[in-house]
Structure 1
Amino acid sequence: MEETGLGWEQAYARAGELAALDQPVVDDSWDYTGVRAILAIALTALGEGVDDSAPVQTGRLLWHLDRGPTNVRRLAAVLLGEELAQATDIDPATVDMDNPVVSTWVWLTRTWPADGPWGGMSRGVARGLTDPAIDILTSWAAKAALTGLNTERGGLANGTAVRITAGDHEGRIGFVKNSAWLMDDLHETVVDGPPPGYEVMIREDPESATGNKREIVPTGALRRTTREETVEVLGLQTRFESVWDACERWAQTLLWWHQDTHPEVWLATENPDGRAPVVTALMTAALFDTVRQRGLDEPADGSSVHLAPLLPMADTLGRPYRWEPIAELLDRIDTTGDSPTQQLLRAIKHAPALSEAGMASERRALVELAESVIIAHAKVAPLPAGTTMRQFSSGEVEPRLVDQALAIAEAARRRQQVNLAMDAPLDDV
């Protein structure tokens, strides 16, 4: 059913389900907490004065969120009054913080230190900005609602490889980026039925100087690619000299994708050129440890590494950005090889500098950067269609390296800096 209950508890539960479609379900994540809170406020307000027999439709939720944070404040006024709805940095002593709607709104509308801390939470979105979560994350909440609506109405999942069958781009292969909907402004909702079209990232000819382009393509002019077509277009390397080499290459790729798609994080980072190799080495170690724990270190050519889940890598690095898990990790793995990351990890392991009390801020910055790279990938890696919140939160379904293959391939095509070639059938994925 495309619907939501009316009370705060029901709205908050449904908000968690929607947020989980686009955010890793992590209670100490600033991003997930904010998206869930915005969804819950909007759902509760839209349900005010409506009988339980007429629940809030996801299409109506999307219509309102698509109009941005100003409209969310209008909705909040239904629950809290105009003065609180328009306020920022509300003094908790002046309001009823035992009311979950009020306390949630106080959190959503407070400003934050540019460099943290963020209430003891990890943060991946818009670090360096002090704006309230309501201003930064409303578009993310709208995206979660859009994903929910697309799933409910049987649309193609983001990342689906498609071939265009009609129009100016007939014969081209592309990847679904978003579903495109018609808005019914009169009724403040989305027009009924499946999505009439999709935003598609179209892959141009390799010789083209224009690169990929985004176009809205009618649903009737698309079909899913065959496995053979998908293998041809993705071209991702899955065999390496060793398992460690595979982990190192994947870590390097994850890092440069993050630098390419989240430049604001690296612009705000002190000594990014010096920290990047250390972050790569830490991610390599975390991935190698995850691969061993999941039994993906066979075959020895690293051809199973791409099946490794992303979030356990972040867990391996430890929270809240403590160095002890890193020391334990380095004790668990063999760093005696000659690869660049192994040499750097040996230096980290045996150099006393990073263990000194005065280096606490540097240790935190390194681990925080490594985790932010991994979390950024996990947030956008598409999960199989029909994945439930229970399956995701229980770990039954996890975002994997290979699930990020589409995004990585697009970035590689755009910058032409990474040489990726696939020689394993997708049946193994």
Structure 2
Amino acid sequence: MVFLPQEVIIKKRNGKALTPTEISDFIAGFAQGTVSHAQAAAFAMAVYFQDMSMPERVALTLSMRDSGTVLDWSDLDGPVADKHSTGGVGDNVSLMLAPILAAISIYVPMISGRGLGHTGGTLDKFDAIPGYATSPDNAQFRKVVQSAGCAIIGQTADLAPADKTLYAIRDVTGTVESIPLITASILSKKLAAGLGALVLDVKTGSGAFMPTLEKSRELAQSLVSVANGAGLKTSALITDMNEPLASAAGNGLEVRNAVEFLSGKHQDPRLREVTLALCAELALMAGKAEDTASARTMVQKALDSGAAAERFARMVAELGGPTDFIERMDHHLQAAPIIRDVLADTEGEITEIDTRGVGMAVVALGGGRTTPTDPIDYTVGFDRLAPLGARIDRTTPIARIHARDEASAADATARLRAAYKLSDAAPGAPLIAARISGA
């Protein structure tokens, strides 16, 4: 029987469940060009309004995975794992997580993305390192994973290509905020990466794409259920994004923050807790520990001993970066022309931070994109960001700004001040709000 894509669209538009064959035929046709972009847009809109059952979401995810190459790491002598964050501000966890896991013999072939909206992208951070190849060929990628234990690179053209095109369509048709489509987009790439275990860091709060705990929990549950339904052992932590996770926001500044974290020079407490909790989840799922306590001890030792820093240095060097990057970071990372403190307009305790506003201030400095083709200034952003609960007066900075020129510095300073609310008492929020397992 001839496949007619409009029949799939009509069926979903009318609220009926699609079969795995109907979904796979539609996505295969889209990847091959026999399903048009207009039909894909209509399909996305139908899913947006009519939702998808868990079996439909699994079928969609697997079909998008199978639109391209699926990596095979069976030649490695240990487990293969990765982590995905739904995006935040000052979220540089990947830079520490990958080498920590590599130091306990878990291979991490991490395929990352660029910044989206107000959130920073892992790939943009590595582009701040001179010489680092974020788009190596497959042979070099495999070689670095085997040698250093981890490699953080960008999505290759043959990895879940249907997702890349469908996302571009969703971006301009108002269908981005669909949990079934978000789920399939995230997981199709992770499944194509050939992983054995995955941990998800689902953000909630003012700097998250899902600002309420209810929506964050719904997304986390969908991701965990679909991933496990597709055969990938997965769990999720819902973590707080009501303030920047690190005390730095901006690509080069977050790299500096990560190196200081790995070397033990400076570790933001919230960042350390989230990083080690995610690492312990993967150590447990990968069979490296019998319980959470022993997993936590294992990953903490890998960090504090300097073993993780050594893995990070090896990864950077083998992907074309400086061989002495950790030792001579100040030499290799460029500095912005303007660096100065940002003072508050008033005084009191920091009771609220519009974290999205902080992210948009970084974008306004040139550290993010307003269109996909915008160039990135890797030197700009903020460091020494004051956390919730800090006591501020007119001489105590809320941050230090790094800017290219006076005009952008003035604009970003105003944005940052507007993002910080000072009062008498700050409400508390749990850093890790929930854990969702696939068991």
Say whether the fold is shared (TM-score over 0.5). Answer: no
Larger fraction in helix: 1
The higher-RCO structure (CA 8 Å, 6+ apart) is: 2
Q: Which has the larger radius of gyration?
A: 1
TM-score, normalized by length of structure 1? 0.27
TM-score, scaled relative to structure 2: 0.26
